[in-house]
Amino acid sequence: MLHSTYPQIRSFLEYLQFEKRYSQHTIISYQTDLEQFFTFLISQYDGPAISAITPGFIRSWLAEMRNEQMTAKSLNRKISSLKSLFKYLLKMGEVNQSPLTTIVSPKVGKRLPAFVAQNDMETLKQYVEFPDTWKGHTDKLLLELFYATGMRLSELIGLKESHIDQANSQVKVLGKGNKERIIPVSKNLIVGLADYMQNKRQLSQPSSCPNLLVNEKGKPLYAKYVYNVVKANLSQVTTLQKKSPHVLRHTFATHLTNNGADLNAVKELLGHSSLAATQVYTHNTIDKLKDIYKKAHPKA
């Protein structure tokens, strides 16, 4: 019913998949938002033609979601999904103007990203023991990779053996929108990666999988597994409420900026498309600020 009334949804999602080459995860997010909006249109306004959609229809939908206590961040994502759809429809000549031009996105309160303290990461590296098994080696390596590169969860799972440049001690990462970036890593990590790849050939079920990280059956890791490994190991060294792969990404960026890294360099390493997204890492820990104050202020 929904897609027969609004076939534009399907063609837009195919455009994202085949032309923009967005990830499946991103496409599902767009699909969820759009189907929710157009289901609302059908139930409340009998499914008007797409060219007859007005700002009033959109405001009514947003008001309903606000009444359901939806956060400003989630509302902004839904507005962004609709804006992308109508930008596509304008390009295809299906509408003459976007009904989103007068829609104002709600302000989102800025929240500092959670990160693991530097000494806690050192504790994880030095004192948390991993079993001498394939799972133990894999778990240890994925934690090292997250902290050494700031990769997203999807990027780590999709990392291929061919992306490891041993000669130049660097890793090629395929990020959002299929954008490639190069991340330098330490010689020690490169040696660890080389050993891991070599040992893959000696698994009881030798892996032909191109993915770097695999389980003991030679199959690629799945997101929930990686998430659980990170959570379990961070629980041993930090009392942070959030213990996710993204926290390790925040930790990577925060430790770089706290130790004097240029913000533009951090932006490139993270694969951010704009500097605005990286500026959240200009915060410093209180301890760091105290240290800077003591060293720099003449009366300290």
Active site residue 66: no
Which of 152, 163, 250, 255 is labelled catalytic? 152
> The tokens 């990577």 sit on which residue?
252
Residue 182: which of 145, 149, 137, 217 has the closest Cα? 149
- Taking phi over 0 as left and psi of -120 to 50 as alpha, with beta for the rest, 47 belongs to left
- Contact predicate 180/195, CB 8 Å: no
Which of 59, 137, 172, 176 is labelled catalytic? 176
Which of 83, 231, 246, 288 is labelled catalytic? 246
Which of 163, 200, 267, 272 is labelled catalytic? 272
Active site residue 227: no
Active site residue 246: yes
Query: Which amino acid, one-letter code, is at 211?
Result: N
Which of 78, 249, 255, 267 is labelled catalytic? 249
Active site residue 249: yes
| Helical ranges in the chain per DSSP H | 2-5, 8-18, 24-45, 55-67, 72-92, 118-127, 134-149, 153-158, 187-200, 223-234, 245-258, 263-270, 275-278, 286-296
Tallying the residues shown for the chain, one arrives at: 300
Distance CA 38, CA 52 (A): 13
Which of 22, 30, 88, 281 is labelled catalytic? 281
Active site residue 293: no
- Taking phi over 0 as left and psi of -120 to 50 as alpha, with beta for the rest, 111 belongs to beta
What is the layout of strands, in order, in the sheet containing 170-174? Answer: 164-165, 170-174, 180-184
Active site residue 272: yes
Catalytic residues: 152, 176, 246, 249, 272, 281
